[in-house]
Structure formats: C-alpha cells, structure tokens
Structure 1
Amino acid sequence: MRRFDGRTRSILTAAAVVAIVVNAGVAWAYWRITGSDTGARVGVELRLRGRSDFNRPLGAGETGNLTVTLTNDYDFPIRITNVRPAPGGAVADDEHRDAGCKDPKVTMTRDIFDVEWDVPRNTIGAFTIPAGLALALGEPAACRGATFTVPLQVSGFSQGE
C-alpha cells in the first residue's frame, strides 16, 4: 500500500474542496493565528461556509441553527474561539432565489458567538450553533423552506504539536 506524502495529501484535499466549492457558496475568511514557535501573528486564509440547517428551514420571524464548515489545509491543528457576521448579505439556495427570494433578511442572533472548536490538521470540521440565525418577519413566500448561505468571520489560534 502506497502512502501519500504531505504535498500529495494537500493536492487531494484541495481537489475535494474545489468539488465542495462548485456545489455550494463559500466565503473566504481572513483569520489571524499566533504562530506556536515564534509567537508572531500570522495571517492565513480558511475556507469557511455558514448556512442554515437543511433539516429545519427558517420561517419568517423564527430562529434556526447555523451550521459552520471550516477547512483546515494546514499541517497544524487550529482552535476556533469565536464566530461573528462578516460583511455582505445572506443568499438563498438557487431554487428559492430563482423563485424570488432576493436579498433575504437573515441575520445572526448575536454579534459574536464564543466557541471552542478544534479542527485537526488537514481536515474539514463541521459545527453547529443552536438558534444562531434568524429570518425577519415579512420575508416573501419565495423564501419559505430555503437554505441560506451567510457570510462569517472566525478567530482562533494554532494549537501546535
């Protein structure tokens, strides 16, 4: 059985991520981490996606779960310590957007959520914030049952090994 080196694993991971990107909206987050060996602040990019719960669509005036998916392509584990809204608006899935759900008023229910999420090196982590999203009252019927993608920012640090 042939073992893949780190570069090959990175390429295969990148290919898997590209497949995900093709099928779903992805937001890029600029994330600051503290380098474990130098203590210097280092900026890295993480692929990050926030969306409403597939199993429980948001109704007008209701709250629902926020699912956050993070891709850690680095050779060190990371810990996410908070999640907050990023600039930009939520987007409904293609079917509901085509039906007229344009510029939906979906917001996070708090300005910042403190979390303790560990994402091992070279993996994808999925996490849930219960009641993390809200859909405003008075949204059009075209938005009923939609899955929304929302822009997010995260903060955290490397965990070193």
Structure 2
Amino acid sequence: MRKLDRRGKVILSVAAAAAVIVNAGAAWAYWSLGGAGTGVAVAGTAVELKLQGRSDESKPLYPGATADLAVTVTNQNDFPVKITSISPGNGKVTADADHRDSGCVETGVVLTADVLPVAWQVPKNTIGVFTVPGGLRMTNSSDSACQGATFTIPVKASGLSSAS
C-alpha cells in the first residue's frame, strides 16, 4: 500500500470535507422540505330531522293528568344524530279525528316543561321512537270532548351529529 504525501493528504481532506458538506445539505433539505397546494373536499348537506309527538295511546289524558310523550324521529342523514332536548314546536296540538269531530278543539295539552332534556341516539338513515316519561300534561282548560283522545303534538329537537 502506498503512503500519501502531503499533497494527497490535502486532496483527501478536501474530498472528505466536500462529502460532509454535501451530506449535511441533503439532510437539511430532507428535514426542512415543506409544501403547499390545494385540496378539494365536498361537504354533504344535512337533512332536517322529522319529528312527530304523540300522546300515549294506552294512558288517556284527562284534565290535570300527565302522560308520556312518544316522539318519532326520522333521521335521513348519512350520519348519526344525538338529540339532547325536546321543546314545543310550531303548530297546534290536535286530537284524533273522532274527538275533533265530537268538538275537541281546545285540547289543553302541553309539554310539562319548556325544554325536556333527553339523550337519544338516532343512527343514520333510520326512524327511532322514544318516550319522555311524564312529558305531557292536560290543563283544566281543555274541552270535555277531548277526554280519551290521542293527541298529535308538534315538537322540535336540539342536538348534534354524533359521527366520529
């Protein structure tokens, strides 16, 4: 093996330093690379929930009494929904057709609170039926023809998507 003279040692040192600099530059470039650009995502449109409140058919209301509120929720969204409260909706409480024909106009049926807290999970694209125990009350101002009727109650819900 041949020994390097002074000139060879200098050349070898310069080559080693150049290799270190090149490798350090490559490492810096690897770790500091960034980027920018645009992406596209399409958000779906949320469909409004359909709700229908009804009095408990097996426990007729009479003036001063309370009964359960049954709520049917139709979720036509592609994501599950968690309903956190029920409150009075827009519209009038109505009695079934037979009792309306008999003179039940002023039902006197109200929710027992302005906001009824619930914790209902409604899976995507399903219909759920839920009960609020003691959620309805019939006041003393109801027409006597309303006794024993089944009532349809407009309700609205508050909630949020429960998609993970």
Query: Is TM-score (shorter-chain normalized) higher than 0.5?
Result: yes
* 1:27-78 C-alpha deviation (Å, 9 max, x unpaired): xxxxxxxxxxx9x9x7631111001001101111111100000001111111
| Superposition deviation, residue 141 in structure 1 | 2.4
Please list every run of 5 or more consecutive structure 2 residues that lacks an aligned counterpart in the other structure. Answer: 1-40
1:58 to 2:38 alignment:
no
Q: Which has the higher helix share?
A: 2
CA distance in 1, matches of 2:108, 2:88: 13
Match of 1:81 in 2: 84
CA distance in 2, matches of 1:134, 1:79: 26
Please list every run of 5 or more consecutive structure 1 residues that lacks an aligned counterpart in the other structure. Answer: 1-37
Q: How does 1:44-55 map to 2 (within 5 A)?
A: 44-55=47-58
Residue among 135, 154, 159 paired with 1:132: 135
Match of 1:108 in 2: 111
Q: Which has the higher strand share?
A: 1
CA distance in 2, matches of 1:64, 1:151: 16
Match of 1:150 in 2: 153
Whether the 8 Å CA contact 2:110–2:138 is kept in 1: the answer is: yes
Whether the 8 Å CA contact 2:108–2:141 is kept in 1: the answer is: no
Amino acid at match of 1:129: V
The number of equivalent residue pairs is 122
CA distance in 2, matches of 1:122, 1:88: 26
* RMSD of aligned residue pairs (Cα, Å): 1.8
CA distance in 2, matches of 1:108, 1:43: 28
User: TM-score under structure 2 normalisation?
Assistant: 0.70
CA distance in 2, matches of 1:50, 1:136: 18
Q: Percent identity?
A: 48
Pair member with larger Rg? 2
CA distance in 1, matches of 2:120, 2:153: 19
CA distance in 1, matches of 2:160, 2:85: 11
Amino acid at match of 1:109: T
| Superposition deviation, residue 138 in structure 1 | 4.3
Secondary structure class of the residue paired with 2:99: helix
Secondary structure class of the residue paired with 2:98: helix
Residue among 53, 67, 71 paired with 1:68: 71
| Superposition deviation, residue 109 in structure 1 | 0.5
Match of 1:120 in 2: 123
